[in-house]
Amino acid sequence: MTHTTLVLLRHGRTEWNASGRLQGQADVALDDNGLAQAEAAADYFATWHFDACYSSDLKRASVTADAVAARHGLGIGLDPRLQEMNVGTWSGKTTAEVERELPEFVRLYSSGIDFRRSATGETQAEMLERNLAGIRDILDRHPNQSVLVVTHGLVIACLVRELMGITDPAVVPSIPSNACYSVLGWREGRGWLVTHNAPTSGFGLSLPPKL
């Protein structure tokens, strides 16, 4: 019976996180706070054991992953399937700006109802389909190992729900703050949550913007 441990780490902060702008798949760099968070995460995980490290190929995630993986002598497997939701033309906009286009944005988001993020963006179901394809490949590749996966806030929240077998789409765990992590165990097609939204440092933690 195999048992894989997944450590899902959200990337450090960006200027768009700080200003409450939707990022989606825009390739926004870490700000100074985010770079410090990445180094703090590397310190935090320095004594942990990881057999492999994977990351979204967006640089806010890959730079965070590189900081942690370097302490373990690991390379990073970049996987675009681990990218955040594509929010299309809403990228770079605040919640208030999006509400001018879709007045029910906050209600839909808060109630867990899935909807397309702008005419050119994804639904949550579409995002999760590609996220799960990437995670399933990782699980198949690393039986009985511990794997670090650096990705994005909504991705982590949705993966936690799905891998735990929660079927109600309205039930979504909280979105992790920047540089916070969740730990999931996986055995024989079943997952369980060890910890969720745990900080790797005591500074610069902030609520993520809504997607």
Point out the catalytic residue in the list 49, 72, 84, 99: 84
Q: From residue 155, how far is each of 1, 3, 38, 39 by CA, in Å?
A: 27, 22, 18, 22
Point out the catalytic residue in the list 11, 39, 142, 152: 11
Give 53's strand partners.
148
Measured distance CA(159)–CA(109) in Å, rounded? 17
Catalytic residue list contains 11? yes
Question: What are the residues whose beta carbons fall under 8 Å from the beta carbon of 25, sequence distance 6 or more?
Answer: 58, 83, 84, 85, 86, 87, 91
Catalytic residue list contains 49? no
Tell me if 37 sits within 8 A of 185, measured CB to CB: no
Among all residues, which ones are annotated catalytic? 11, 84
